[in-house]
Structure 1
Amino acid sequence: MVYRIIGEGAMVLHLAFLVYVALGGFLTWRWPPMIWPHLACALYGLGITVIGWDCPLTHLENWGREQAGQAGLPPEGFIEHYLTGVIYPTEHLLTAQLLVALSVAASWAGALYLHRKRQTAGDRA
């Protein structure tokens, strides 16, 4: 039972990480220091996507599931198993990746705009 919880917990953390990479930059609009953890996560997500780095959450989920007697993830990994073909059609993987990149870029552009706006307001005071 414990191993199944580990596998399921890793899956939930994995999904939370992906949501944070896609949308976490918008937290910086309210809490500017959040840019640093988001930058680290976004760069790691980019490394996984572009360079093919391994994700430790995939290994943890596989380990937990296999110890519980379940099948692990396919070699393609978390995104291919849970998202591609389920959340968006397989042929739109690149579109989904570009939309995530656009979301990150828009959130950071908005954060930069608000940062400059705060600085200008502080200079007037």
Structure 2
Amino acid sequence: MMYRLLADAVMVAHFAFLAYLAVGGFLAWRWRRTIWAHLAVAAWGLVSVVTGVECPLSLAEDWARRRAGLEGLPASGFIDHYIEGVIYPEEYTNLARLGVAVLVLFSYVGYVLRRQ
């Protein structure tokens, strides 16, 4: 039971992380210091997409699920399991990535313009 709750908590944290990746730059418009945290998150997102390195949150959820006696995450990972084919069709993966990149870049442009 405890491992199942841990797996669910990690899943929720992972969704929150991805949401912050997409729109966290806009928070820096109000709270300027958060730009540094968002830069780190955006860099991690870019590295994970480009290199395919597995996210520690995916590893943690997979571990907790298996300890709870559940099926682990598929080898393709968190996004493929929970998002692709669920929130948007798999054939739009590159478009979704482009959309997130545009959101991040727009938030950074807005951050710079509001700072001046």
- Judge same fold: TM > 0.5, yes or no: yes
Deviations 1:55-112 (A, max 9, x none): 1000100010000000011000000000001101110000000000000000000000
Task: Point out the structure with max Rg over C-alpha.
Answer: 1
Residue in 2 that maps onto 1:3: 3
Residue in 1 that maps onto 2:106: 106
Alignment of 1:75-114 (within 5 A): 75-114=75-114
Give aligned-pair identity as a percent. 49
- Secondary structure at the aligned position of 1:32 is classed as coil
Unaligned runs of 5+ in 1: 117-125
- Secondary structure at the aligned position of 1:12 is classed as helix
Residue in 1 that maps onto 2:51: 51
Could you tell me how far apart the structure 2 residues matched to 1:85 and 1:77 are? 13
State the number of aligned residues: 116
Q: TM-score, normalised by structure 2?
A: 0.98
Shift of 1:41: 0.4
Runs of 4+ deviating beyond 6 Å: none
Q: CA RMSD in A?
A: 0.5
> Given that residues 54 and 77 in structure 2 are in contact (C-alpha distance below 8 angstroms), is that contact kept between their aligned partners in structure 1?
no
Q: Which residue identity does 1:26 align to in structure 2?
A: F
Q: Is it true that 1:23 corresponds to 2:23 in the alignment?
A: yes
Q: TM-score, normalised by structure 1?
A: 0.91
Unaligned runs of 5+ in 2: none
Residue in 1 that maps onto 2:72: 72
